[in-house]
Structure formats: structure tokens, C-alpha cells
Amino acid sequence: MKGILTLLKPVRAMAVKGNGVDDDAIDGAVQRAADMVANASYLIAFTGAGISADSGMPTFRGSGGLWGSYDQRHLELDFFLRSPELAWKTIREIFYTFTLSVEPNNAHRVLARWEQEGRLRLVVTQNIDGLHHRAGSRAVAEFHGSCDSLVCTRCGNRTPATAGLVALSPPRCACGGVYKPGFIFFGEGIPPEAYEASFQAAGKADLCLVIGSTGSVYPAASIPRLVKSRGGRIIEVNPEPSEFTNEISDVFVPLGAAEALHRIDAALRDNDQHSAPEANS
């Protein structure tokens, strides 16, 4: 139903023309995005599964999604607490054996560099793969938690998810409680710190760069919408139009995350070079 509604709306994605893609229009969108990033006074990024897809991370839903091969119940808290060994077998395969073998891509790295350069204030991510941290980002709000840490289900102790701990069946805290991964399970609440940091930053942001999120998972998807409602602007990077495209996006860049960020970053550097002040004589 969602899909049909999307089709009926006029696609404002200026860069998409028929079945093909207009290269000039993409160049134009990339240049506008670079100008907006250059002129932003408070830029945040909002990232979803699409940014990690370019690292080879499989998606969970849809055809070929991981939930076709695994039992989704294993990530429900009740099931986990009843059968931690069985749940951990699934969790280990999906989130540790595989995720740890995946590397950050150019999109993660560009965001990390923008943070170091003072261009980017915060990455709000829906991803639990820890790739923003591994790319060097420090200001990251992991809205759904992260597989980088484990949390004791008895005493609440939090510890790094080392290979040694994760190999145990199940991993246990010194108190005897079972460790669960540091990401939220189905039905669990958003980690309060990430929630507060995200909405606080969204309240200040004059520009939000949405990357690889379809805008359908709440409350995360309300973060770019908050930026927009407060007068900020939205750049969207997604290979296909999403829930955001016609609703809030000011610029839509119809490319994969790694290519889009590489091109926006290159345009930004080009702009910097042309506008660099003359050296003191």
C-alpha cells in the first residue's frame, strides 16, 4: 500500500528521469548538497542500513533478508531469557561472526573526517554494526544500541563484546547473569542517552544529511522530520526514493551511500579550493 501511494505522488526526485538516471541532474544534486554542507552551521547525519549495505552488510527484511534464514523470535527478550543458548547461537552467527568481518566504507569514512574537520556535529545511526566508530567517528548516537558491547541481564553491567566472551554459550557476567548484546531487542526501548543526544541535536540542526534510511522505522525516523519542522533543510542520499523523498527532502541524491559521499566530499573540497583565502603576503 505504501508503495502504491509513493508511485502516485509526483516524484520530486529531480535527478531521476524515466528508468534511467540523468547524470547532469545527479551532478547538480551533488553540487547543491556540497554547498549546503559547506554553509551549514549545525550539520547532523542520520544513517540507516543503506550506508552499511555498501560494506556488504545484508539487510534483515525483504527478499534475501536475514530473517528468511533465521528465526526472528531469537531477538525477542522473552525468548532470549528463556533460551539464551539457542538465542546466542543465532546472535553469534548474525551479529558477531559476520558483522566483525565487515569493514567501514567510504561513506562512514567521509563522515568521520567531516567530524574531525568540525563540519559535522553528530551521527545518529539506526545501525547496530559499530561501523561509524570503526571508521573513526566519535560523536555517534547509536539509536538502537550496538553490538560492540554486552549488557548483563541481571546486574546491568556493560562490557566490550570481545571474541572470547561472545564465544561462550552463553556469555555470562561475573554475577552469573547472562549477557545480552548491547543493541535493543524487539519491543525494547531506545537507549535514553542516544535518544536524548539525538533529539537535542535535531533541535539545533539547520541541516540533516539522511543516508541509507527509508524513513519507516519510528521513533528514529522522526529525527530528520524534527529538523525539517524547525526550519532546517534535508539532503537525502538513497538509491531509490523513500518515505522522506517527497515529504521533507530538499535535495535528493539518487546514489548508493559510498559513491554519493565520495562525490559530495570531492565537490566540497573543490569549493574550498576555489574559495580559499589568499595566503598572507
How far from 132 is each of 46, 55, 146, 243, CA to CA, in Å?
12, 12, 11, 24
Count of residues interacting with Zn ion (CB under 5 A): 7
Q: Which helix (H) or strand (E) holds 109?
A: helix 106-116
Residues 167, 175, 196, 266: which binds Zn ion (CB under 5 A)? 175
Least CB distance to Zn ion at residue 175 (A): 3
Q: Is residue 5 involved in binding Zn ion (CB under 5 A)? A: no
Q: Find all residues with CB under 8 Å of 111, minimum gap 6, and list them.
A: 45, 47, 120, 123, 132, 135, 137, 261
- When asked if residue 165 is in the footprint of Zn ion (CB under 5 A), the reply is no
Q: Name residue, grid cell 531477538.
A: 75
Which H or E element spans position 150? strand 145-152
Minimum separation from the CB atom of position 161 to Zn ion (A) = 15
Instruction: Give the shortest CB-77-to-Zn ion separation in angstroms.
Output: 16
- Residue 168 binds Zn ion, judged by CB under 5 A: no
| Chain-centre distance for alpha carbon 267 | 22
Q: Indicate whether 58 belongs to the interface with Zn ion (CB under 5 A).
A: no
Residue 197 makes contact with Zn ion by CB under 5 A: no
Q: Does 149 bind Zn ion (CB under 5 A)?
A: no
Q: Which stretch binds Zn ion (CB under 5 A): 72-80, 119-127, 146-154, 255-263?
A: 146-154
d(CA 72, CA 91): 10
Amino acid at 116: Q
Instruction: Give 184's Cβ-side CA count (13 Å radius).
Output: 15
Calculate the CA 8 to chain-centre distance. 28
Residues in 82-121 that interact with Zn ion by CB under 5 A? none
Stretch that binds Zn ion, among 62-70, 138-146, 167-175, 246-254 (CB under 5 A): 167-175
152 binds Zn ion (CB under 5 A): yes
Least spacing, CB of residue 155 vs Zn ion, in Å: 3
Q: Any contact of residue 155 with Zn ion (CB under 5 A)? A: yes
Q: Does 144 participate in catalysis according to the annotation?
A: yes
Q: How far is the CB of 94 from Zn ion (least distance, A)?
A: 24
Task: In angstroms, give the least distance from the CB of 174 to Zn ion.
Answer: 6
The verdict on 157 binding Zn ion (CB under 5 A) reads yes
> Can you tell me whether residue 212 is helix, strand or coil?
coil
3-class DSSP state for residue 99?
Answer: helix
> Residue from 128, 173, 184, 209 that binds Zn ion (CB under 5 A)?
173
Residue of 62, 59, 49 whose CA lies nearest to 237: 49
Rg, the chain, Cα only: 20
* Marked catalytic residue, from 74, 108, 132, 144: 144
Is the CB of residue 126 less than 8 Å from the CB of residue 47? yes
Instruction: Output the nine-digit C-alpha cell for 165.
Output: 566472551
Q: Which stretch binds Zn ion (CB under 5 A): 30-38, 90-98, 152-160, 232-240?
A: 152-160
**What x-and-dash track marks residues 177-196 binding Zn ion by CB under 5 A?**
x-------------------
Q: Can you read off the three cell numbers belonging to residue 186?
A: 524487539
Can you give the binding site for Zn ion, defined by CB under 5 A?
Answer: 152, 154-155, 157, 173, 175, 177
What are the residue numbers of the active site? 144
